Amino acid sequence: MAQVRPMRADARRNYERLLKVAAEAFAEHGESASLDDIAKRAGVGSGTLYRHFPTRQALLEAAYVGRVEALGSRADELAAQLPPGEALTEWLYELCVGSIQVRGLKALLGSAVTDGSTAALTACGTTVRGAADRLIEAARADGFLRADLEPVELLRLAHGVTTAAELADGKGTRIRRYLALVTEGLRA
Amino acid sequence: MAQVRPMRADARRNYERLLKVAAEAFAEHGESASLDDIAKRAGVGSGTLYRHFPTRQALLEAAYVGRVEALGSRADELAAQLPPGEALTEWLYELCVGSIQVRGLKALLGSAVTDGSTAALTACGTTVRGAADRLIEAARADGFLRADLEPVELLRLAHGVTTAAELADGKGTRIRRYLALVTEGLRA
DNA sequence: TACCATGCGGAGAGAGCCCCCGGTTGGCAA
DNA sequence: TTGCCAACCGGGGGCTCTCTCCGCATGGTA
């Protein structure tokens, strides 16, 4: 079922140009970049954009799958070359930095760890949750993390840290500091 | 300078109705509630709304000063009847709960601890920072908090915790848990 | 009572979102 | 090659929202 006949050549062309332009636009203006504008810049009508990507979320997701997957493989890379605790710490840092630098990515990652989200949260959610699972499992086995911490909770807290760092200066300078505060606790 | 002649009666009437309606609207629809709609519901033209409150931020702020001030006095109340550490913890909890339950308040409190914010962040910023200062100073003196923690950092982290809890279920059920995680740290 | 600064209101320009449908075209079958 | 038609295109248009502008109403005062 769901016979997937290949896209017509013109459709595929438009699809790809939209993705490219969208990634730029979201990075520049954040997740609320104008969709009509993206269509215009890609040289297609807005109808075409909405046919390929029914919702803003769909476009956002499609535009950044690559980046999210890079985050996933980066996790394995770090796991291979650092002790579990450090690998996790560094990965979280890169996650937060990406969330701030690539505007729009934060929104995507956020919705990937939202509970009430529409059913299956797609590739991105799976990818990033999977990566986190692996790193956390290792870190926990190594005695670095408390045992009662769910992976998704850590991802949500990382999102929170990003938000906090954004409030500070909008540029992510404070990420390392806030991440350390959260990891080590606020107690004397 | 800045001769402050009292508002004309009709102006004052409109001003107050706008505030009341705005508080309801922001609470219901979040900070992006429609301003024209608020004007309509208050029975005034949109021009009137924009004259009294030039920006969305100004209206948001004016609509919630009361609530923010309540948060300020609540801090002293708690300080008077609980040990410093508990007072701080409880206050932070109430801060986060308010941020989630009263949609729009979160945005206001967030901008109150933003660095690049436009010059003087007004009454709300001062109030909430003041309250935090007092509680934190006491908690620190009591050996509850690490010494290198700036009050504004804690407020930002609280904002982050709120964001994280919002991702979880949108209702704030997880606030206590996440606040505890951050306070105690994630280490084993 | 009459004057006029102060304040009102809503029309309208501008920007976005998204749907819809008449026209076009890629790709296949003959 | 040619011709056909499903798939696809594009942008007009209805809607919502923001924010400004200016002719008109009215509260407060002399």
pLDDT-based confidence at A170, cuts 50/70/90?
confident
Question: Could you tell me if A21 and A13 are in contact, meaning their C-beta atoms sit under 8 angstroms apart?
Answer: no
Q: What domains can you pick out in chain A, each with its CATH number?
A: 8-54 (1.10.10.60), 64-184 (1.10.357.10)
**Is residue B148 less than 8 Å (CB to CB) from chain A?**
no
Which of A88, A157, A173 is the best mutation test for B, with the most CBs of B within 10 A? A157
Nearest-nucleotide field for A38 (CA, C1'):
C16
Task: Give helix B56-81 / helix B84-101 axis angle, nearest 10°.
Answer: 150
Provide φ and ψ at A187, rounded to 5°: -65, 160
Side chain identity, residue A106:
K
Mean pLDDT over the full length of chain A? 93
Tens of pLDDT, residue by residue over B90-135, are: 999 999 999 999 989 999 999 999 876 554 567 888 999 999 999 9
pLDDT surpasses 50 at B82: yes
Residue A160 and residue B156: Cβ atoms within 8 Å? no
pLDDT surpasses 50 at B180: yes
pLDDT at A4: 66
Neighbours of B43 (CB within 10 A): 12
Greater confidence (B119 vs A155) lies with A155
Q: List the B18 CA – C7 C1' distance (angstroms).
A: 15
Side chain identity, residue B161:
V
Enumerate residues 29 to 58 of chain B having a beta carbon within 8 A of any beta carbon in chain A.
Answer: none
pLDDT surpasses 90 at A2: no
Statement: the CB of B44 is under 7 Å from strand D = no
SS3 B63: helix
Greater confidence (A48 vs A170) lies with A48
Q: What percent of chain B has pLDDT over 90?
A: 87
The mean pLDDT value for B45-70 works out to 96
pLDDT at A115: 79
Chain A residues inside the 8 Å CB shell of B149: 181, 186
Count the alpha carbons within 13 Å of B64 in the hemisphere toward its beta carbon. 31
Q: Nearest C-alpha of chain B: how many angstroms from A71? A: 20
pLDDT at A37: 97
pLDDT at A117: 57
pLDDT at A165: 97
pLDDT at B1: 47
Residue B164 and residue A164: Cβ atoms within 8 Å? no
Tens of pLDDT, residue by residue over A13-33, are: 999 999 999 999 999 999 999
- Determine the Cα–Cα distance for residues B155 and B182; give it in Å rounded to an integer: 12
Enumerate residues 110 to 139 of chain A having a beta carbon within 8 A of any beta carbon in chain B.
Answer: 110, 113-116
pLDDT at A28: 92
**Is residue A151 less than 8 Å (CB to CB) from chain B?**
no
Enumerate residues near strand C (beta carbon within 7 A). Answer: A 8-10, 32-37, 46-47, 50-51, 54-56; B 5, 7-8, 10-11, 14-15, 43-48, 51-52
Statement: the CB of B11 is under 7 Å from strand D = no
pLDDT-based confidence at B188, cuts 50/70/90?
confident
pLDDT surpasses 80 at A179: yes
For B156, which residue in chain A has the nearest alpha carbon?
A: A164
The mean pLDDT value for A83-97 works out to 98
- DSSP string of chain A? ----PPPPHHHHHHHHHHHHHHHHHHHHH-TT--HHHHHHHTTS-HHHHHHH-SSHHHHHHHHHHHHHHHHHHHHHHHHHHS-HHHHHHHHHHHHHHHHHHSTTHHHHHHHHT-SSSSSS-HHHHHHHHHHHHHHHHHHHHTT-B-TT--HHHHHHHHHHHHHHHHHHHSSSTTHHHHHHHHHH-SB-
The mean pLDDT value for A148-176 works out to 96
Residue A116 and residue B169: Cβ atoms within 8 Å? yes
pLDDT-based confidence at B2, cuts 50/70/90?
very low
Number of helices (H), then strands (E), in chain B: 9, 0
**Is residue B64 less than 8 Å (CB to CB) from chain A?**
no
**Is residue B153 less than 8 Å (CB to CB) from chain A?**
yes
The mean pLDDT value for B17-27 works out to 96
Comparing CB atoms, the residue among A146, A167, A181 nearest residue B113 is: A167
Tens of pLDDT, residue by residue over B130-176, are: 999 999 999 999 999 999 999 999 999 999 999 999 999 989 999 99
- Determine the Cα–Cα distance for residues B134 and B171; give it in Å rounded to an integer: 29
**Is residue B160 less than 8 Å (CB to CB) from chain A?**
yes
Tens of pLDDT, residue by residue over A56-78, are: 999 999 999 999 999 999 999 99
Tens of pLDDT, residue by residue over A97-152, are: 999 999 899 999 999 998 765 545 678 889 999 999 999 999 999 999 999 999 99
